[in-house]
Structure 1
Protein backbone atom coordinates (compact mmCIF):
# COMPACT_ATOMS: atom_id res chain seq x y z
CA UNK A 1 0.00 0.00 0.00
CA UNK A 2 1.70 3.12 -1.36
CA UNK A 3 -0.21 6.06 0.12
CA UNK A 4 -0.30 9.84 -0.30
CA UNK A 5 -3.04 11.35 1.81
CA UNK A 6 -2.98 15.10 2.39
CA UNK A 7 -4.41 18.40 1.17
CA UNK A 8 -4.21 18.62 -2.62
CA UNK A 9 -1.65 21.31 -3.36
CA UNK A 10 1.07 21.77 -5.96
CA UNK A 11 3.83 22.05 -3.37
CA UNK A 12 2.85 18.68 -1.87
CA UNK A 13 3.51 17.28 -5.35
CA UNK A 14 0.80 14.71 -5.92
CA UNK A 15 1.86 15.31 -9.53
CA UNK A 16 5.28 13.78 -8.90
CA UNK A 17 3.61 10.67 -7.51
CA UNK A 18 1.25 10.54 -10.50
CA UNK A 19 4.16 10.75 -12.94
CA UNK A 20 5.78 7.82 -11.18
CA UNK A 21 2.55 5.81 -11.43
CA UNK A 22 2.56 6.42 -15.18
CA UNK A 23 6.20 5.30 -15.26
CA UNK A 24 5.27 2.02 -13.54
CA UNK A 25 2.42 1.55 -15.99
CA UNK A 26 4.75 2.21 -18.92
CA UNK A 27 7.21 -0.39 -17.60
CA UNK A 28 4.43 -2.98 -17.46
CA UNK A 29 3.23 -2.11 -20.96
CA UNK A 30 6.71 -2.37 -22.45
CA UNK A 31 7.28 -5.86 -21.10
CA UNK A 32 8.88 -5.31 -17.70
CA UNK A 33 6.00 -6.67 -15.64
CA UNK A 34 8.22 -9.28 -13.99
CA UNK A 35 10.43 -6.50 -12.61
CA UNK A 36 7.58 -4.41 -11.18
CA UNK A 37 6.69 -4.95 -7.52
CA UNK A 38 2.88 -5.18 -7.15
CA UNK A 39 1.44 -2.13 -5.42
CA UNK A 40 -1.77 -0.29 -4.70
CA UNK A 41 -1.29 3.46 -4.98
CA UNK A 42 -3.83 5.41 -2.95
CA UNK A 43 -4.43 9.15 -3.12
CA UNK A 44 -6.84 11.07 -0.92
CA UNK A 45 -7.35 14.68 0.09
CA UNK A 46 -9.41 17.76 -0.58
CA UNK A 47 -8.79 20.84 -2.70
CA UNK A 48 -9.75 24.40 -1.88
CA UNK A 49 -12.94 25.38 -3.78
CA UNK A 50 -11.19 27.99 -5.94
CA UNK A 51 -7.93 26.14 -6.52
CA UNK A 52 -8.08 25.34 -10.24
CA UNK A 53 -4.82 23.40 -10.49
CA UNK A 54 -5.55 21.28 -7.43
CA UNK A 55 -8.88 20.24 -8.93
CA UNK A 56 -7.20 19.50 -12.26
CA UNK A 57 -4.68 17.29 -10.44
CA UNK A 58 -7.56 15.31 -8.90
CA UNK A 59 -9.05 14.88 -12.37
CA UNK A 60 -5.65 13.81 -13.70
CA UNK A 61 -5.22 11.13 -11.02
CA UNK A 62 -8.72 9.79 -11.61
CA UNK A 63 -8.16 9.57 -15.36
CA UNK A 64 -4.89 7.72 -14.80
CA UNK A 65 -6.66 5.33 -12.45
CA UNK A 66 -9.43 4.71 -14.96
CA UNK A 67 -6.96 3.73 -17.68
CA UNK A 68 -4.68 1.61 -15.50
CA UNK A 69 -7.41 -0.20 -13.57
CA UNK A 70 -9.21 -1.23 -16.77
CA UNK A 71 -6.09 -2.53 -18.50
CA UNK A 72 -5.82 -6.34 -18.12
CA UNK A 73 -2.02 -6.09 -18.33
CA UNK A 74 -1.93 -4.44 -14.89
CA UNK A 75 -4.03 -7.09 -13.10
CA UNK A 76 -2.27 -8.07 -9.89
CA UNK A 77 0.50 -5.55 -10.49
CA UNK A 78 -0.76 -1.99 -10.26
CA UNK A 79 -3.94 -0.39 -8.97
CA UNK A 80 -4.59 3.33 -8.47
CA UNK A 81 -7.35 4.87 -6.36
CA UNK A 82 -8.48 8.35 -5.41
CA UNK A 83 -10.58 8.07 -2.28
CA UNK A 84 -13.41 10.65 -2.30
CA UNK A 85 -14.77 12.58 0.67
CA UNK A 86 -11.58 12.25 2.69
CA UNK A 87 -12.05 12.73 6.44
CA UNK A 88 -10.51 11.74 9.76
CA UNK A 89 -12.53 8.53 10.08
CA UNK A 90 -11.06 7.33 6.78
CA UNK A 91 -7.55 8.31 7.85
CA UNK A 92 -7.93 6.04 10.88
CA UNK A 93 -8.24 3.10 8.49
CA UNK A 94 -5.81 4.29 5.80
CA UNK A 95 -3.00 5.05 8.26
CA UNK A 96 -3.02 1.58 9.78
CA UNK A 97 -2.97 -0.05 6.33
CA UNK A 98 -0.11 1.98 4.83
CA UNK A 99 3.21 0.37 4.00
CA UNK A 100 4.91 3.27 2.18
CA UNK A 101 4.15 6.85 3.21
CA UNK A 102 4.59 9.51 0.51
CA UNK A 103 5.97 12.76 1.96
CA UNK A 104 7.33 14.30 -1.22
CA UNK A 105 6.83 18.06 -0.96
CA UNK A 106 9.39 20.40 -2.50
CA UNK A 107 12.14 20.89 0.08
CA UNK A 108 11.72 24.11 2.03
CA UNK A 109 7.97 24.40 1.46
CA UNK A 110 6.44 22.34 4.29
CA UNK A 111 6.33 24.06 7.69
CA UNK A 112 6.06 20.79 9.59
CA UNK A 113 3.05 18.53 9.00
CA UNK A 114 1.72 15.80 11.26
CA UNK A 115 0.40 13.27 8.75
CA UNK A 116 3.87 11.84 8.24
CA UNK A 117 4.17 11.36 12.01
CA UNK A 118 0.90 9.43 12.12
CA UNK A 119 2.04 7.11 9.34
CA UNK A 120 5.35 6.57 11.12
CA UNK A 121 3.60 5.72 14.40
CA UNK A 122 1.56 3.10 12.56
CA UNK A 123 4.65 1.43 11.15
CA UNK A 124 4.80 2.87 7.63
CA UNK A 125 8.18 3.48 6.02
CA UNK A 126 8.62 6.97 4.59
CA UNK A 127 9.79 8.05 1.17
CA UNK A 128 10.39 11.76 1.21
CA UNK A 129 12.44 14.90 0.83
CA UNK A 130 14.34 16.82 3.49
CA UNK A 131 11.31 18.95 4.30
CA UNK A 132 9.20 19.68 7.35
CA UNK A 133 8.92 16.92 9.94
CA UNK A 134 10.57 14.48 7.51
CA UNK A 135 13.87 15.80 8.84
CA UNK A 136 12.95 14.86 12.41
CA UNK A 137 11.50 11.51 11.34
CA UNK A 138 14.72 10.65 9.52
CA UNK A 139 16.79 11.68 12.54
CA UNK A 140 14.62 9.61 14.87
CA UNK A 141 14.54 6.38 12.86
CA UNK A 142 17.99 6.71 11.30
CA UNK A 143 19.02 7.86 7.80
CA UNK A 144 19.45 4.27 6.63
CA UNK A 145 15.79 3.56 7.42
CA UNK A 146 14.34 6.47 5.42
CA UNK A 147 13.94 6.61 1.62
CA UNK A 148 15.42 10.05 1.00
CA UNK A 149 15.43 11.64 -2.46
CA UNK A 150 15.49 14.95 -4.22
CA UNK A 151 16.94 18.42 -3.89
CA UNK A 152 17.36 19.90 -0.42
CA UNK A 153 16.11 23.39 0.46
CA UNK A 154 19.46 25.04 -0.31
CA UNK A 155 19.67 23.35 -3.72
CA UNK A 156 16.09 24.40 -4.50
CA UNK A 157 17.04 27.98 -3.66
CA UNK A 158 20.10 27.80 -5.89
CA UNK A 159 17.92 26.78 -8.84
CA UNK A 160 15.76 29.88 -8.56
CA UNK A 161 16.03 32.14 -11.58
CA UNK A 162 17.73 29.61 -13.85
CA UNK A 163 15.73 26.41 -13.39
CA UNK A 164 15.46 24.50 -16.68
CA UNK A 165 13.16 21.46 -16.55
CA UNK A 166 14.19 20.48 -20.09
CA UNK A 167 17.61 19.47 -18.76
CA UNK A 168 16.00 16.86 -16.50
CA UNK A 169 13.58 15.78 -19.19
CA UNK A 170 16.32 15.19 -21.76
CA UNK A 171 18.49 13.33 -19.24
CA UNK A 172 15.89 10.69 -18.32
CA UNK A 173 14.44 8.48 -21.04
CA UNK A 174 11.79 7.14 -18.64
CA UNK A 175 10.61 10.67 -17.91
CA UNK A 176 10.44 11.41 -21.63
CA UNK A 177 8.19 8.38 -22.13
CA UNK A 178 5.92 9.52 -19.29
CA UNK A 179 5.55 13.02 -20.71
CA UNK A 180 5.01 11.64 -24.22
CA UNK A 181 2.12 9.50 -22.93
CA UNK A 182 0.49 12.50 -21.27
CA UNK A 183 1.00 14.79 -24.26
CA UNK A 184 -0.40 12.16 -26.63
CA UNK A 185 -3.73 12.27 -24.83
CA UNK A 186 -3.42 8.67 -23.65
CA UNK A 187 -5.22 9.51 -20.39
CA UNK A 188 -7.75 11.92 -21.88
CA UNK A 189 -8.71 10.43 -25.25
CA UNK A 190 -12.17 12.02 -25.18
CA UNK A 191 -11.18 15.25 -23.42
CA UNK A 192 -8.56 16.87 -25.67
CA UNK A 193 -6.40 19.49 -24.03
CA UNK A 194 -7.77 19.02 -20.54
CA UNK A 195 -4.34 18.29 -19.07
CA UNK A 196 -2.45 20.97 -20.99
CA UNK A 197 -2.25 23.14 -17.83
CA UNK A 198 -0.47 20.29 -16.03
CA UNK A 199 1.96 19.74 -18.89
CA UNK A 200 2.67 23.47 -19.00
CA UNK A 201 3.15 23.66 -15.22
CA UNK A 202 5.79 20.95 -14.92
CA UNK A 203 7.72 21.89 -18.08
CA UNK A 204 7.81 25.64 -17.47
CA UNK A 205 11.07 27.22 -16.18
CA UNK A 206 9.02 29.09 -13.59
CA UNK A 207 7.72 25.91 -11.95
CA UNK A 208 8.40 26.74 -8.27
CA UNK A 209 7.85 23.13 -7.21
CA UNK A 210 10.53 21.69 -9.54
CA UNK A 211 8.64 18.48 -10.17
CA UNK A 212 10.79 17.24 -13.05
CA UNK A 213 14.02 18.04 -11.19
CA UNK A 214 13.25 15.41 -8.57
CA UNK A 215 11.70 12.74 -10.81
CA UNK A 216 14.83 10.67 -11.47
CA UNK A 217 15.91 10.63 -7.84
CA UNK A 218 12.35 9.75 -6.79
CA UNK A 219 12.14 6.95 -9.36
CA UNK A 220 15.37 5.38 -8.18
CA UNK A 221 14.41 5.59 -4.50
CA UNK A 222 11.04 4.02 -5.34
CA UNK A 223 12.88 1.11 -6.93
CA UNK A 224 14.95 0.74 -3.77
CA UNK A 225 11.76 0.60 -1.70
CA UNK A 226 10.26 -1.93 -4.11
CA UNK A 227 13.31 -4.17 -3.81
CA UNK A 228 13.21 -4.01 -0.02
CA UNK A 229 9.54 -5.05 -0.04
CA UNK A 230 10.57 -8.50 -1.27
CA UNK A 231 12.49 -9.02 1.98
CA UNK A 232 9.50 -9.02 4.30
CA UNK A 233 11.59 -9.81 7.38
CA UNK A 234 13.66 -6.66 6.86
CA UNK A 235 10.63 -4.56 5.92
CA UNK A 236 8.84 -5.61 9.11
CA UNK A 237 11.97 -4.86 11.14
CA UNK A 238 12.05 -1.32 9.78
CA UNK A 239 8.31 -0.98 10.33
CA UNK A 240 8.74 -1.87 14.00
CA UNK A 241 11.67 0.53 14.31
CA UNK A 242 9.52 3.34 12.89
CA UNK A 243 6.81 2.76 15.49
CA UNK A 244 9.37 2.43 18.27
CA UNK A 245 11.11 5.68 17.28
CA UNK A 246 7.90 7.69 16.97
CA UNK A 247 7.71 8.50 20.69
CA UNK A 248 9.69 11.68 20.10
CA UNK A 249 6.52 13.14 18.56
CA UNK A 250 4.54 12.74 21.79
CA UNK A 251 2.43 15.82 22.55
CA UNK A 252 3.64 15.67 26.18
CA UNK A 253 7.26 15.89 25.05
CA UNK A 254 6.44 18.66 22.60
CA UNK A 255 4.66 20.84 25.17
CA UNK A 256 7.41 20.26 27.74
CA UNK A 257 10.02 21.39 25.21
CA UNK A 258 8.00 24.47 24.24
CA UNK A 259 7.80 25.35 27.92
CA UNK A 260 11.50 24.81 28.49
CA UNK A 261 12.55 26.79 25.40
CA UNK A 262 9.89 29.50 25.10
CA UNK A 263 7.24 29.86 27.81
CA UNK A 264 9.30 29.15 30.97
CA UNK A 265 6.13 28.49 32.95
CA UNK A 266 6.10 26.78 36.32
CA UNK A 267 4.35 23.38 36.08
CA UNK A 268 1.11 23.11 38.02
CA UNK A 269 1.13 20.17 40.38
CA UNK A 270 -2.31 18.61 40.55
CA UNK A 271 -3.35 17.27 43.93
CA UNK A 272 -6.14 14.75 44.56
Structure 2
Protein backbone atom coordinates (compact mmCIF):
# COMPACT_ATOMS: atom_id res chain seq x y z
CA UNK A 1 0.00 0.00 0.00
CA UNK A 2 2.82 2.36 0.85
CA UNK A 3 4.48 1.59 -2.47
CA UNK A 4 1.28 2.48 -4.33
CA UNK A 5 0.95 5.77 -2.44
CA UNK A 6 4.60 6.57 -3.15
CA UNK A 7 4.12 5.82 -6.86
CA UNK A 8 1.06 8.07 -7.01
CA UNK A 9 3.00 10.92 -5.40
CA UNK A 10 5.83 10.53 -7.91
CA UNK A 11 3.39 10.54 -10.83
CA UNK A 12 1.59 13.60 -9.44
CA UNK A 13 4.88 15.50 -9.07
CA UNK A 14 5.86 14.62 -12.61
CA UNK A 15 2.48 15.76 -13.88
CA UNK A 16 2.80 19.10 -12.02
CA UNK A 17 6.25 19.74 -13.49
CA UNK A 18 5.09 19.05 -17.04
CA UNK A 19 4.45 22.19 -19.12
CA UNK A 20 0.80 23.18 -19.46
CA UNK A 21 -1.26 24.34 -22.39
CA UNK A 22 -2.33 27.96 -21.89
CA UNK A 23 -5.88 28.80 -23.03
CA UNK A 24 -5.99 31.08 -26.07
CA UNK A 25 -7.62 34.00 -24.24
CA UNK A 26 -5.00 34.01 -21.49
CA UNK A 27 -2.21 33.60 -24.03
CA UNK A 28 -3.50 36.66 -25.88
CA UNK A 29 -3.44 38.62 -22.62
CA UNK A 30 0.15 37.47 -22.02
CA UNK A 31 1.11 38.62 -25.53
CA UNK A 32 -0.49 42.01 -24.84
CA UNK A 33 1.42 42.47 -21.58
CA UNK A 34 4.66 41.32 -23.23
CA UNK A 35 4.15 43.91 -25.96
CA UNK A 36 3.63 46.64 -23.37
CA UNK A 37 6.78 45.46 -21.59
CA UNK A 38 8.72 45.72 -24.85
CA UNK A 39 7.36 49.20 -25.45
CA UNK A 40 8.33 50.32 -21.95
CA UNK A 41 11.85 48.88 -22.23
CA UNK A 42 12.31 50.53 -25.62
CA UNK A 43 11.04 53.93 -24.48
CA UNK A 44 13.11 53.96 -21.31
CA UNK A 45 16.11 52.58 -23.24
CA UNK A 46 16.68 49.82 -20.71
CA UNK A 47 19.66 47.68 -21.64
CA UNK A 48 18.55 44.09 -21.23
CA UNK A 49 18.72 40.94 -23.32
CA UNK A 50 17.46 38.63 -20.62
CA UNK A 51 14.40 36.50 -21.27
CA UNK A 52 13.69 36.80 -17.56
CA UNK A 53 12.20 40.17 -18.44
CA UNK A 54 8.92 38.41 -19.21
CA UNK A 55 8.83 36.08 -16.21
CA UNK A 56 6.79 38.51 -14.08
CA UNK A 57 4.27 38.66 -16.93
CA UNK A 58 3.98 34.87 -17.06
CA UNK A 59 3.82 34.62 -13.28
CA UNK A 60 0.99 37.15 -13.16
CA UNK A 61 -1.19 34.66 -15.02
CA UNK A 62 0.11 31.65 -13.10
CA UNK A 63 2.36 30.25 -15.83
CA UNK A 64 6.06 29.78 -16.53
CA UNK A 65 8.24 30.43 -19.56
CA UNK A 66 8.19 26.70 -20.25
CA UNK A 67 4.38 26.80 -20.39
CA UNK A 68 4.52 29.55 -22.97
CA UNK A 69 7.13 27.73 -25.09
CA UNK A 70 5.16 24.51 -24.87
CA UNK A 71 1.86 26.19 -25.80
CA UNK A 72 3.35 27.99 -28.80
CA UNK A 73 5.01 24.80 -30.02
CA UNK A 74 1.76 22.90 -29.57
CA UNK A 75 -0.07 25.09 -32.10
CA UNK A 76 1.47 23.12 -34.98
CA UNK A 77 -0.33 20.01 -33.72
CA UNK A 78 -3.69 21.71 -33.19
CA UNK A 79 -5.78 21.64 -36.35
CA UNK A 80 -8.52 23.92 -35.07
CA UNK A 81 -6.28 26.69 -33.71
CA UNK A 82 -3.81 29.14 -35.21
CA UNK A 83 -1.24 31.23 -33.42
CA UNK A 84 -2.10 34.18 -35.68
CA UNK A 85 -5.61 34.22 -34.20
CA UNK A 86 -4.15 34.65 -30.73
CA UNK A 87 -1.89 37.46 -31.97
CA UNK A 88 -4.88 39.22 -33.55
CA UNK A 89 -6.76 38.87 -30.26
CA UNK A 90 -3.80 40.48 -28.45
CA UNK A 91 -3.93 43.38 -30.92
CA UNK A 92 -7.66 43.82 -30.21
CA UNK A 93 -6.90 43.91 -26.49
CA UNK A 94 -4.23 46.56 -27.07
CA UNK A 95 -6.56 48.66 -29.20
CA UNK A 96 -9.36 48.39 -26.64
CA UNK A 97 -7.06 49.36 -23.79
CA UNK A 98 -5.61 52.23 -25.81
CA UNK A 99 -9.11 53.53 -26.60
CA UNK A 100 -10.00 53.35 -22.91
CA UNK A 101 -6.92 55.35 -21.93
CA UNK A 102 -7.62 57.85 -24.70
CA UNK A 103 -11.13 58.23 -23.31
CA UNK A 104 -9.82 58.71 -19.78
CA UNK A 105 -7.37 61.36 -20.97
CA UNK A 106 -10.21 63.07 -22.83
CA UNK A 107 -12.35 62.97 -19.69
CA UNK A 108 -9.54 64.51 -17.65
CA UNK A 109 -9.05 67.21 -20.28
CA UNK A 110 -12.79 67.88 -20.23
CA UNK A 111 -12.78 68.14 -16.43
CA UNK A 112 -9.92 70.64 -16.65
CA UNK A 113 -11.81 72.76 -19.16
CA UNK A 114 -15.07 72.63 -17.21
CA UNK A 115 -13.27 73.41 -13.95
CA UNK A 116 -11.48 76.41 -15.45
CA UNK A 117 -14.67 77.70 -17.02
CA UNK A 118 -16.56 77.25 -13.73
CA UNK A 119 -13.83 79.02 -11.76
CA UNK A 120 -13.59 82.01 -14.15
CA UNK A 121 -14.68 85.27 -12.55
CA UNK A 122 -15.47 88.63 -14.16
CA UNK A 123 -13.44 91.36 -12.48
CA UNK A 124 -14.55 94.35 -14.51
CA UNK A 125 -17.01 95.02 -17.29
CA UNK A 126 -18.13 98.15 -19.14
CA UNK A 127 -20.76 97.99 -21.83
CA UNK A 128 -20.04 101.39 -23.35
CA UNK A 129 -17.23 103.96 -22.97
CA UNK A 130 -17.30 107.14 -25.05
CA UNK A 131 -14.13 109.22 -25.23
CA UNK A 132 -14.91 112.56 -26.87
CA UNK A 133 -12.88 114.96 -24.72
CA UNK A 134 -9.34 114.96 -23.41
CA UNK A 135 -10.45 114.36 -19.85
CA UNK A 136 -12.45 111.32 -20.97
CA UNK A 137 -9.21 109.50 -21.72
CA UNK A 138 -9.00 108.68 -17.99
CA UNK A 139 -11.72 106.12 -18.68
CA UNK A 140 -9.16 104.16 -20.67
CA UNK A 141 -6.58 104.02 -17.89
CA UNK A 142 -7.11 102.01 -14.71
CA UNK A 143 -5.45 99.32 -12.58
CA UNK A 144 -6.50 96.13 -10.81
CA UNK A 145 -4.66 95.73 -7.52
CA UNK A 146 -3.87 92.67 -5.38
CA UNK A 147 -4.09 90.24 -8.26
CA UNK A 148 -3.55 86.51 -7.75
CA UNK A 149 -1.71 83.93 -9.84
CA UNK A 150 -3.69 82.84 -12.86
CA UNK A 151 -4.86 84.01 -16.28
CA UNK A 152 -6.32 87.47 -16.88
CA UNK A 153 -8.17 87.86 -20.17
CA UNK A 154 -8.92 91.33 -21.52
CA UNK A 155 -11.37 91.79 -24.39
CA UNK A 156 -13.20 94.74 -25.92
CA UNK A 157 -14.30 96.28 -29.22
CA UNK A 158 -13.39 99.78 -30.29
CA UNK A 159 -13.91 102.26 -33.10
CA UNK A 160 -11.99 105.46 -33.87
CA UNK A 161 -14.21 107.69 -35.99
CA UNK A 162 -13.47 110.59 -38.30
CA UNK A 163 -13.85 113.22 -35.56
CA UNK A 164 -10.68 112.02 -33.84
CA UNK A 165 -7.84 114.54 -34.37
CA UNK A 166 -4.93 112.27 -33.44
CA UNK A 167 -2.61 110.55 -35.86
CA UNK A 168 -2.88 107.21 -34.06
CA UNK A 169 -3.65 105.66 -30.70
CA UNK A 170 -1.58 103.21 -28.71
CA UNK A 171 -2.18 101.17 -25.60
CA UNK A 172 -1.79 97.86 -23.88
CA UNK A 173 -2.19 95.93 -20.65
CA UNK A 174 0.66 94.61 -18.52
CA UNK A 175 1.56 93.18 -15.14
CA UNK A 176 3.54 94.96 -12.46
CA UNK A 177 5.57 93.45 -9.66
CA UNK A 178 7.81 94.93 -6.97
CA UNK A 179 11.46 95.22 -7.94
CA UNK A 180 10.81 95.18 -11.68
CA UNK A 181 10.97 98.83 -12.83
CA UNK A 182 10.45 97.96 -16.50
CA UNK A 183 7.55 95.55 -16.83
CA UNK A 184 7.22 93.52 -19.98
CA UNK A 185 4.69 95.26 -22.20
CA UNK A 186 3.74 95.13 -25.86
CA UNK A 187 2.42 98.26 -27.51
CA UNK A 188 -0.77 97.88 -29.47
CA UNK A 189 -1.67 100.40 -32.16
CA UNK A 190 -5.40 100.88 -32.47
CA UNK A 191 -6.66 100.79 -36.04
CA UNK A 192 -8.77 103.53 -37.55
CA UNK A 193 -11.61 102.11 -39.62
CA UNK A 194 -15.28 102.59 -40.18
CA UNK A 195 -16.22 99.43 -38.24
CA UNK A 196 -15.46 98.05 -34.79
CA UNK A 197 -12.14 96.31 -34.24
CA UNK A 198 -11.63 93.50 -31.71
CA UNK A 199 -8.92 93.37 -29.06
CA UNK A 200 -8.06 90.51 -26.76
CA UNK A 201 -5.06 89.49 -24.72
CA UNK A 202 -4.45 86.96 -21.97
CA UNK A 203 -1.79 87.62 -19.35
CA UNK A 204 -0.57 84.93 -16.96
CA UNK A 205 0.28 86.32 -13.55
CA UNK A 206 2.82 84.67 -11.28
CA UNK A 207 3.10 84.73 -7.54
CA UNK A 208 5.11 87.97 -7.54
CA UNK A 209 2.81 90.01 -9.78
CA UNK A 210 0.70 92.54 -7.88
CA UNK A 211 -1.12 94.79 -10.36
CA UNK A 212 -2.66 94.64 -13.80
CA UNK A 213 -2.54 97.92 -15.71
CA UNK A 214 -4.95 98.83 -18.51
CA UNK A 215 -3.86 101.88 -20.48
CA UNK A 216 -5.27 102.92 -23.86
CA UNK A 217 -5.22 106.63 -23.15
CA UNK A 218 -2.17 107.78 -25.10
CA UNK A 219 -1.29 108.88 -28.60
CA UNK A 220 1.36 107.03 -30.56
CA UNK A 221 2.66 110.22 -32.17
CA UNK A 222 5.21 112.68 -30.81
CA UNK A 223 2.72 115.50 -30.96
CA UNK A 224 0.50 116.44 -28.05
CA UNK A 225 -2.74 114.61 -27.55
CA UNK A 226 -5.62 116.24 -29.41
CA UNK A 227 -9.37 115.88 -29.25
CA UNK A 228 -10.23 112.16 -29.26
CA UNK A 229 -13.28 110.42 -30.60
CA UNK A 230 -13.25 106.77 -29.60
CA UNK A 231 -16.02 104.36 -28.67
CA UNK A 232 -15.21 101.26 -26.62
CA UNK A 233 -17.82 98.52 -26.20
CA UNK A 234 -18.05 95.32 -24.17
CA UNK A 235 -14.89 95.82 -22.14
CA UNK A 236 -14.43 92.70 -20.01
CA UNK A 237 -11.63 91.48 -17.76
CA UNK A 238 -11.91 87.95 -16.41
CA UNK A 239 -9.75 85.93 -14.04
CA UNK A 240 -9.16 82.17 -14.18
CA UNK A 241 -7.07 80.48 -11.47
CA UNK A 242 -4.42 77.87 -12.36
CA UNK A 243 -5.84 74.55 -13.53
CA UNK A 244 -4.85 72.69 -10.34
CA UNK A 245 -6.70 75.16 -8.13
CA UNK A 246 -9.68 75.30 -10.48
CA UNK A 247 -10.04 71.49 -10.48
CA UNK A 248 -9.74 71.35 -6.69
CA UNK A 249 -12.43 74.00 -6.30
CA UNK A 250 -14.61 72.20 -8.82
CA UNK A 251 -14.38 68.91 -6.93
CA UNK A 252 -15.26 70.65 -3.67
CA UNK A 253 -18.36 72.09 -5.31
CA UNK A 254 -19.32 68.75 -6.85
CA UNK A 255 -18.86 66.94 -3.53
CA UNK A 256 -21.40 69.25 -1.91
CA UNK A 257 -24.11 68.06 -4.32
CA UNK A 258 -25.36 64.78 -2.85
CA UNK A 259 -28.59 62.86 -2.98
CA UNK A 260 -28.24 61.79 0.65
CA UNK A 261 -26.74 63.79 3.46
CA UNK A 262 -23.95 62.44 5.63
CA UNK A 263 -26.47 61.73 8.42
CA UNK A 264 -28.23 59.24 6.16
CA UNK A 265 -25.08 57.18 5.73
CA UNK A 266 -24.28 57.34 9.45
CA UNK A 267 -27.75 55.99 10.32
CA UNK A 268 -27.42 53.31 7.67
CA UNK A 269 -24.14 52.20 9.20
CA UNK A 270 -25.77 51.98 12.64
CA UNK A 271 -28.65 49.89 11.31
CA UNK A 272 -26.22 47.51 9.63
CA UNK A 273 -24.44 46.74 12.89
TM interval, short-chain normalised: under 0.3
Q: Which has the higher contact order (CA 8 A, sep 6+)?
A: 2
Q: TM-score, normalised by structure 2?
A: 0.22
Question: Which of the pair has more CA radius of gyration?
Answer: 2
More helix, by proportion: 1
Q: TM-score, normalised by structure 1?
A: 0.22
